[in-house]
């Protein structure tokens, strides 16, 4: 199309966001964390659970004010080591969990977890809460729920000369596959129902 000033219209092509992959799921470009937050929003709206992502405590050191209406953080530090990603209440249970993605097809590397997170999860269990990992094997498009106690076995064994990862085969057998759903994308509540109710 030519405009009156003689210039031609320039066609602009924008990449499609969250384009479906061969698996047919419309949100597969999203991260595991995004999917869990969308699931938690659904649970909250449906009055099923109150679970939120924990904010990471940050100490802001240097801020630049280029304009009155805008501030740019130039320097900040983590105040303390974070614990786990999510916590809240489901059907009277206190739930506390970490969400991790891996590109590894054969195992989940324990290097994705930190000692302070394990210590926190063990403390939650001692007080009657429920701890677990949600692990996404990205190349396989599979998400698993793994109970904290099953994680602790591998964590403790690595310091006695054991494996530095949890085999995929073990996670398949001892964990719980979480199928993708449209509204509750990572429907971990269905696993909690099976294990605790």
- Residue ranges at the known binding site for Mg(2+): 83, 85, 98, 117
* DSSP letter assigned to residue 58: E
**94: three-class secondary structure by DSSP:** strand
Alpha-carbon gap, residue 25 to 19, rounded angstroms: 9
Return phi, psi of residue 187, to 5°. Answer: -80, 70
Question: Cα separation of 195 and 197, whole Å?
Answer: 6
Q: Which two tokens stand for residue 177?
A: 């596959």
- Calpha distance 178→75 (Å, rounded): 39
Q: What's the rounded Cα separation, in Å, for the pair 117 and 85? A: 10
Q: Which residues are annotated as a binding site?
A: 83, 85, 98, 117
**What ranges make up the beta strands (E) of the chain?**
49-53, 58-67, 70-78, 86-90, 93-102, 107-109, 130-137, 142-147, 165-167, 176-177
């Amino acid at each position: 199309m030519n405009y009156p000033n003689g210039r031609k219209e320039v066609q602009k092509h924008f990449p499609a966001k969250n384009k479906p992959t061969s698996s047919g799921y419309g949100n597969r470009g999203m991260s595991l964390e995004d999917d869990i937050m969308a699931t938690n929003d659904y649970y909250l709206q449906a009055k099923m659970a109150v679970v939120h992502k924990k904010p990471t405590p940050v100490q802001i050191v240097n801020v630049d004010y280029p304009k009155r209406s805008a501030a740019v953080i130039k320097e900040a530090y983590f105040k303390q080591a974070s614990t786990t990603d999510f916590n809240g209440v489901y059907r009277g249970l206190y739930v506390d969990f970490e969400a991790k993605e891996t590109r590894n097809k054969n195992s989940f590397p324990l290097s994705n977890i930190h000692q302070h997170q394990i210590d926190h999860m063990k403390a939650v269990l001692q007080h009657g809460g429920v701890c677990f990992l949600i692990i996404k094997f990205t190349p396989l498009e599979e998400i698993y729920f793994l109970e904290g106690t099953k994680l602790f076995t591998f964590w403790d064994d690595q310091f006695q000369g054991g494996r530095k990862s949890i085999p995929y085969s073990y996670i398949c057998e001892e964990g719980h596959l979480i199928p993708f759903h449209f509204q509750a994308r990572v429907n971990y509540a269905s696993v909690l129902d099976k294990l605790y109710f």
